[in-house]
Chain A
Amino acid sequence: MNINYSRLSALIFLLFFIVYSYLASEIRVFAFDENADFNARTFPTFISYLGIFVSFLTLVLSKNEHEKLGHYEWLKVIVLFVLVFTYGIIIKSIGFFLSTNLFLMVAYYYLGVRSPKVIILSSIPVVAGLQFLLHELLDVYIRDPFLQAIGVIS
């Protein structure tokens, strides 16, 4: 049996559902529920059986197809992923307005936009417009230390 990406993914799912099955058996239930016909363990156990069965079948029945994953833009997606992660880290500390604008501007630049006019017009008005919509029309308050510091919101 040759290993291809389909088989490899099926193997990972098989391991996942085996671990899930073990964790399901470890769910603590109340003493009076231990021998009940249906308790908190029952449904996850059924799911694990289904998952193990279908991932095992996929592992065995997958054809030997030559899949190539190298020609895709992996690096760009990973950088965007890191950018989203960083956005999550800074959003609380520097506030929604500044962090979102930074995220958008860096993302535009990284993806190849070089015109400062386009970068600014595609970020600041969009973020300001959304924040205005949220604050003024939908009554959703977003804490924003930066806008508070410059006196835009109270």
Chain B
Amino acid sequence: MNEGILIGINTAFSGYNILMVMAGCFAGTIIGMLPGLGPMSAIALMIPITYGFDPASAMILMAGVYYGAIFGGSTSSILINAPGVAGTVSSSFDGYPMSQNGQAGKALAIAAYASFSGGTIAAIFLLIAAPQLAKVSLSFQSADYFALMCVGLLSIAAFASKGQFLKAMIMTALGLALATVGQDALSDITRFAFGNINLMDGISFVLLVMATFAMSEAFMIIFKKMDISFKASDVSKANLGSIKLSKAEVKEMAPVIGRSSVLGFLVGVLPGAGATIASFLAWGFERSIASAKDKLKFGKGSIKGLAAPETANNAACTGSFVPLLTLGIPGSGTTAVMLGALLSFGVQPGPRLYIEQPELFWAVIVSMYIGNVVLLFLNLPLIPYIARILAIPKNILVPLVLFFSVTGVYLISFNAFDIYFMAIVAFLSLVLRVLNYPMPPLILGFILGGMLEKNLRRAILINDGSFSFMWERPISLALFVVMIIIVLLQIYQGIQKNKT
């Protein structure tokens, strides 16, 4: 393990990869700041750029983009009360009031220090937890993997659904159905291609992600008449105030950071949960344990109220890499996109990754720490300048996002069919999103579809056509019990919602 860590450190600290982290953090911050464009869009836009990179550098870049986007989302939450990312909505509860009180610089500094601390503590947890979980998961068989993937799909559907679990499940089924287009991996039989040569190899993962996130987000900005640029231009001219924190303020933040890091990491590890839930939980938890006097400050510019969600969302981002790197199962929609990217590089994440490709496994973990340092020392002083990106009007931004999305897909295949198909998928995604159909379950279903079929096939063949593996193997049984609990919880919530 020590040798692996050293290889990882060596890889992550190479000049090229440090440049990747910096570029990723910078690009992620800019994209994450723009309302509507979250980490999934940011990573989707990066995928075509990373073709030709080695997998370690590509993952390092994408990881940098991920936490850069979360940091960028916090910035727009604090400055203009327009969270670029769902995971930073709770940062605006106290960050924006601070900003309005003339403490925007201080609020950004708290966000940066809390994110740095949360990310760092979580990176240490990841360093300890990931190899242990990888060792445990070596005992997993096909049936267990199948059950685990089903838990992942159900969890994402439950958490991403915002009370529309059935719609999220439809999207999961649609994602799985789209994954069956093209050649069957085992028998080479072509399915659902309808004689179209462009569909013989299946639907491109990059195309689907770009269409459902980047391009449909761009359409959505126009569709919903979203425009925040005039506010942003005001902010960029304003004096943000000092970014220095007093000793008393640091003392107030420290225990909050400790608690929220643990909470955020644990929530991040759970499949389907992630930064949004972690940040809301951390804010709510800190408020519930605060003294009566402190409780009154929450929502009006409390330091604790800002530090808690900022710590938790970064810790959750790091935590979500645990199931991705050790089990090959993404813990969130964003890591699902990363899984797709890894698969397209020919890298299969899972328990053997840290044995067979330690440079990739450890370099990603080490680069997370470097990324946190970059965000703190490079991005924080640059925020007044980076914030000017918010002044880009939507009539310039939208064509540029459309252009980068189309180019990204075209550069992979040089096939105009992909552009037409992408435009159709993006338009349909827009309609579905307006009707409250969430997109992350579709992407996860699409990415896991192939692996799910492969593991189900193996499990059934090993069991002579029987489904008895569901209750005969203890791990599978436990996972199926978890699935039943998730479904029952959703039914219970639905009944409660109908009553109110």
A96 to B186, CA, bound (A): 38
Cβ-defined contact, B402 with A55, below 8 A:
no
Cβ-defined contact, A107 with B222, below 8 A:
no
Cβ-defined contact, B427 with A88, below 8 A:
no
B487 → chain A closest CB, angstroms: 11
Cβ-defined contact, B222 with A92, below 8 A:
no
Cβ-defined contact, A88 with B416, below 8 A:
yes
CB contacts under 8 Å to A, within B46-72, are 49, 52
B349 → chain A closest CB, angstroms: 22
Listed A/B pairs (15) with beta-carbon separation below 8 Å: A17-B177, A30-B187, A30-B189, A37-B461, A39-B187, A42-B460, A43-B452, A47-B176, A47-B177, A72-B223, A81-B427, A100-B407, A107-B402, A108-B396, A138-B52
A80-B166 contact given A40-B187, A44-B180, CB 8 Å threshold: no
Cβ-defined contact, A84 with B406, below 8 A:
yes
A81 to B192, CA, bound (A): 25
Contacts of B191 in A (CB 8 A): 24, 27, 40, 44
Contacts of B422 in A (CB 8 A): 84
A134 to B48, CA, bound (A): 11
Cβ-defined contact, A80 with B398, below 8 A:
yes
Chain A: number of interface residues, binned into ranges: 35 or more
Cβ-defined contact, B411 with A23, below 8 A:
no
CB contacts under 8 Å to A, within B158-202, are 166-167, 169-170, 172-174, 176-177, 180, 184, 186-187, 189, 191-192
Cβ-defined contact, A50 with B402, below 8 A:
no
A27-B407 contact given A44-B177, A122-B396, A122-B400, CB 8 Å threshold: no
Cβ-defined contact, B223 with A84, below 8 A:
no
Residue B177 contacts which of A51, A58, A76 (CB distance < 8 angstroms)?
A: A51
Does A29 touch B at the CB level, under 8 Å? yes
Q: Mark B205-217, 1 if CB is under 8 A from A, else 0.
A: 0000000000100
Q: Output the nearest chain B residue to A47 by Cβ-Cβ distance.
A: B176
A104 to B402, CA, bound (A): 9
Does B464 touch A at the CB level, under 8 Å? yes
Majority SS of interface residues in chain A?
Answer: helix
Cβ-defined contact, B403 with A100, below 8 A:
yes
A80 to B403, CA, bound (A): 11
Does B285 touch A at the CB level, under 8 Å? no
Cβ-defined contact, A88 with B189, below 8 A:
no
Contacts of A80 in B (CB 8 A): 219, 222, 398, 402
Contact segment of B33-41, B319-327, B431-439? B431-439
Does A113 touch B at the CB level, under 8 Å? yes
Q: A44-B177, A139-B52 are in contact. List 11 more A-B contacts (CB 8 A).
A: A43-B180, A43-B453, A44-B180, A46-B456, A77-B223, A80-B398, A84-B422, A84-B426, A88-B419, A104-B403, A111-B394
Cβ-defined contact, A9 with B437, below 8 A:
yes
Does B471 touch A at the CB level, under 8 Å? no
A150 to B30, CA, bound (A): 36
CB contacts under 8 Å to B, within A103-123, are 103-104, 107-108, 111-113, 118, 122
Q: Mark A68-89, 1 if CB is under 8 A from B, else 0.
A: 0100111011001100110111
Does B499 touch A at the CB level, under 8 Å? no
Cβ-defined contact, A108 with B223, below 8 A:
no
Cβ-defined contact, A73 with B396, below 8 A:
no
Cβ-defined contact, B184 with A40, below 8 A:
yes
CB contacts under 8 Å to A, within B438-469, are 452-453, 456-457, 460-461, 464-465
A84 → chain B closest CB, angstroms: 4
Interface residues of B (CB under 8 A from A): 49, 52, 166-167, 169-170, 172-174, 176-177, 180, 184, 186-187, 189, 191-192, 215, 219, 222-225, 393-396, 398-400, 402-403, 406-407, 410-411, 414, 416, 419-420, 422-423, 426-427, 430, 432, 434-437, 452-453, 456-457, 460-461, 464-465, 494
Cβ-defined contact, A73 with B435, below 8 A:
no
Does A153 touch B at the CB level, under 8 Å? no
Residue A69 contacts which of B177, B407, B434 (CB distance < 8 angstroms)?
A: B434
Q: Output the nearest chain B residue to A56 by Cβ-Cβ distance.
A: B166
Residue A6 contacts which of B49, B219, B420, B435 (CB distance < 8 angstroms)?
A: B435
A36 to B224, CA, bound (A): 51
B112 → chain A closest CB, angstroms: 30
A72 to B176, CA, bound (A): 31
A27 → chain B closest CB, angstroms: 5
Contacts of A76 in B (CB 8 A): 222-223
Residue A107 contacts which of B398, B416, B434, B464 (CB distance < 8 angstroms)?
A: B398
Interface residues of A (CB under 8 A from B): 5-6, 9-10, 13, 17, 20, 23-24, 27-30, 33, 37-40, 42-44, 46-48, 50-51, 54-55, 57-58, 61, 67, 69, 72-74, 76-77, 80-81, 84-85, 87-89, 91-92, 100, 103-104, 107-108, 111-113, 118, 122, 126-127, 130, 134, 138-140, 142-143
Cβ-defined contact, B170 with A10, below 8 A:
yes
Contacts of B186 in A (CB 8 A): 40
B308 → chain A closest CB, angstroms: 34
Q: Output the nearest chain B residue to A141 by Cβ-Cβ distance.
A: B414
Cβ-defined contact, A28 with B189, below 8 A:
yes
Contacts of A143 in B (CB 8 A): 414
A143 to B416, CA, bound (A): 13
A88 to B436, CA, bound (A): 29
A104-B423 contact given A38-B460, A44-B180, A73-B225, CB 8 Å threshold: no
A72 to B167, CA, bound (A): 22
Contacts of B427 in A (CB 8 A): 77, 81
Ranked nearest first, the 7 interchain pairs of A and B with the lowest CB-CB distance are A88-B419, A37-B465, A111-B395, A107-B399, A51-B173, A43-B453, A54-B169
B472 → chain A closest CB, angstroms: 16
A130 → chain B closest CB, angstroms: 7
Cβ-defined contact, A88 with B420, below 8 A:
yes
Contacts of B177 in A (CB 8 A): 17, 20, 44, 47-48, 51
B189 → chain A closest CB, angstroms: 4
Contacts of B180 in A (CB 8 A): 43-44, 47
